[in-house]
Amino acid sequence: MAAESLIKRKLTATFVTTMIPSMILAYLYMADSVKSEYPHGLGGSFLGWLSMYSMYIGIIVLIYGNLVSVGLEYLQKKWFVKHIWLYVLLHGFFGLANGWLFQEFTLALPGMIVALFYALIDRWLFVRAKVQKSFKMFFLVPFVICGLLWGYFQIMSEPYTMVDAIEDAAANGTVPDVFPKSVGKWEGQIDGYRVERETTAKKQEEKNI
Amino acid sequence: MITFTERWKKGKVKGSWSITYEVVRGSLSSYGSEGDEPSYYK
């Protein structure tokens, strides 16, 4: 059925067009954090920014993008069925409208890029559908890239260990330098006193800001 | 939470002193200390 395959194609294009740019934006946003002094819990932050970006982009593409695209496809079939380039270009033109929609000129260019990307994916899917090839890859690839980026950011965030914490406390606090540098006890004699110096550590609930 | 505790004893004289820090990555705050400094520090 034509309508069914159209909906399937547009929704798949919507998914890809939402995920890929969102991942790029989230990556760019996170790239600075990797260089920071205390990269911490970056995998989670990446997913957080990804979901925030994809929510915005997703809603715009889903409602505005698909409305425009279905309209353009109708016009293309009627008047310029051979001119795929015009179909793609018109998507880009309507993508520019994002700048006007949000009264923010800087959003016009990204809007256009996402729209052109959408049109290209849409045409690619169109060709694949004709030769009965499945769309599975279009869902799999964004998820795999997303997983890899999450893993990358997880690896880049160093865990904060007990030893790090003790070092920090000993280095920056007002504690004499004589205490054990790891959890443990020191015993000895000083001026006839039996002295016992103990370092203990207790892990608290992690506070994520 | 990192706690440094020092206990001392000489005959009947004994005492202890401790200081606790709350350490979060990149920041350190004193959580409080208790006891007296041992006399042999001076």
A117-162 per-position pLDDT tens digit: 999 999 999 999 889 888 999 999 999 999 999 998 888 877 777 7
B15 is in which domain, residue-wise?
A: 2-35
Q: Within 10 A of B3 (CB to CB), how many other CB atoms are there?
A: 18
Whether the per-residue pLDDT at A109 is higher than 80: the answer is yes
Q: Within 10 A of A160 (CB to CB), how many other CB atoms are there?
A: 17
* B3–A166 C-beta distance less than 8 A: no
Phi-psi category of residue A185: left, alpha or beta, with phi > 0 → left and psi -120 to 50 → alpha: beta
Across the interface, of A173, A192, A199, the residue whose CB is closest to B28 is A173
Q: Which residue has the higher pLDDT, A57 or A178?
A: A57
Residue A155: per-residue pLDDT: 84
**Amino acid type, A151:** G
Q: How far apart (Å, rounded) are the C-alpha atoms in residues A205 and B18? A: 22
Across the interface, of B5, B8, B19, the residue whose CB is closest to A193 is B8
* B19–A173 C-beta distance less than 8 A: yes
**ipTM of this complex:** 0.76
Residue A73: per-residue pLDDT: 93
Residue A209: per-residue pLDDT: 42
Number of structural domains (chain B) is 1
DSSP state of A8: H
Q: Which residue has the higher pLDDT, B40 or A85?
A: A85
A12-71 per-position pLDDT tens digit: 999 999 999 999 999 998 887 777 766 777 888 899 999 999 999 999 999 999 999 999
> Crossing angle of helices A66-79/A84-101, nearest 10°?
150
CA atoms within 13 A on the CB side of A141: 11
Sign of CA dihedral A116, A117, A118, A121: positive
Classify burial at A73, counting beta carbons within 10 Å of its beta carbon; exposed 0-12, middle 13-18, buried 19 or more: middle
